[in-house]
Amino acid sequence: MFSPSNKLFCFGQPNSDTLLNSYINGTTEFEAEIPVGRSDPYEEHNRRYKEATKLLEMEKKKLEDVKNLAKGCESRDWWNDPIDQMSIEQLQEFMNSINELRRNVAELYYAPLGMMKL
């Protein structure tokens, strides 16, 4: 296809260089000229698009997990609940949480000092 200023434009395959080489050589068969070590640009864009879409879906799932976790934390301030109203299971969970908190605090405090953990 030629523009009004007589510039050659070629859309799709083959590109204009392949078309001109075919005309000069007098052949009617076109071979796709893809530089060595490079894939078709459309294939590369499709591959990158699929990777980006996959990463986006993973990030959306992570965001949903964080929102669900935050929602669970907002709805329950278990450390402020009166102990005398807790069931046995809740008391055990409370004690496990307190012990885990104690271990975490000890790790943060004693590890930089090079001291033994509790």
Length, in residues, of the chain = 118
Residue 55 forms part of a structural domain: no
Element (H or E) spanning 21, and its range? helix 16-25
More confident residue, 63 or 30: 63
- The Cβ-side half-sphere exposure at 116, using a 13 Å CA radius, reads 1
pTM above 0.85, yes or no: no
Residue 34 forms part of a structural domain: no
Token pair of 87 as six digits: 């069931």
Look at residue 58 in the predicted model and tell me its pLDDT.
Answer: 93
Mean predicted confidence (pLDDT) in 59-70? 84
Distance CA 58, CA 45 (A): 20
Distance CA 55, CA 70 (A): 22
Question: pLDDT (tens digit, 9 = 90+) per residue, 46-57?
Answer: 999 999 999 999
Question: pLDDT (tens digit, 9 = 90+) per residue, 69-112?
Answer: 777 655 556 667 778 888 888 888 888 988 988 888 888 877 66
Residue 87 forms part of a structural domain: yes
Residue 71 forms part of a structural domain: no
Residue 51 forms part of a structural domain: no
Token pair of 12 as six digits: 């799709």
What are the helix and strand counts (H, E) for the chain? 3, 0
Q: What is the band of 14 on the pLDDT scale with cuts at 50, 70, 90? A: low
Judge if the upstream peptide bond of residue 14 is cis by omega within 30 degrees of 0. yes
Contact criterion met (CB below 8 Å) for 1 and 9: yes
Residue 54 forms part of a structural domain: no
**Domain assignment of residue 84, given as a range:** 77-118
Residue 68 forms part of a structural domain: no
The three-point CA angle 29-35-36 to 5° equals 115
- Structurally, the chain folds into a number of domains equal to 1
Residue 82 forms part of a structural domain: yes
